[in-house]
A = this chain, B = another copy of it.
């Protein structure tokens, strides 16, 4: 799907390239100061071009935020797909998937923090567009779980996927408490142990 942002530039390839530069610079800027405190001048500078050029590739400051959120989601999703796409159906697979997902969340914690903290600054329609991507990710997770535990009810599947999903995000969001008490490995193992006890019981039931 093409990004629904107008540009006065004709060269499609150039647009892609510039928007990538833009998005890269903007993320690191938003990490530091958040979207609202970052000025368009700073955004342009961080992206390596002039304020005038910035406005050749976007129409409003909000568009930058959309570009950023979109890019983060795309990266998260791409990396999730990379390690979720597997045929095996074993506990080991799920363990591996959860581990990989938590590592991804650890790796991208700043980006994910930006994503959720600035989401509300997007216009409603952009929010929905972006949240749809999140649903797709949840489905990825659900599928992996179902592969190993096919007997779970829909509700159970939904809620467990959601729990795993947010537990990964919380590792970054609540770093002020979690990362003071646990290493990532500890956190992953503990969460997986708990998860397993839930799933085992369900399977048994």
Separation of A46 and B112 alpha carbons in the complex (Å) = 33
Copy tally for this chain in the complex stands at 4
How distant is A94 from chain B, measured CB to nearest CB, in Å? Answer: 15
Residue of chain B at shortest CB distance from A186: B155
Separation of A6 and B135 alpha carbons in the complex (Å) = 45
Instruction: State whether B198 touches A194 (Cβ < 8 A).
Output: yes
CB neighbours of A197 from chain B (8 A): 197-198, 201-202
A185-201 vs B, CB cutoff 8 Å, 1 = contact: the mask equals: 01100110010011011
How distant is A131 from chain B, measured CB to nearest CB, in Å? Answer: 6
How distant is A139 from chain B, measured CB to nearest CB, in Å? Answer: 11
Q: How large is the interface on A (under 10, 10 to 19, 20 to 34, 35 or more residues)?
A: 35 or more
> Does chain B have a CB within 8 A of A177?
yes
Instruction: State whether A135 touches B174 (Cβ < 8 A).
Output: no
Q: Which of A130-153 contact B (CB under 8 A)?
A: 131, 134-135, 138
Task: Give the interface of A toward B (CB within 8 A).
Answer: 34, 36, 117, 120-121, 131, 134-135, 138, 155-156, 158-160, 162-163, 166-167, 170, 174, 176-178, 181-182, 186-187, 190-191, 194, 197-198, 200-202
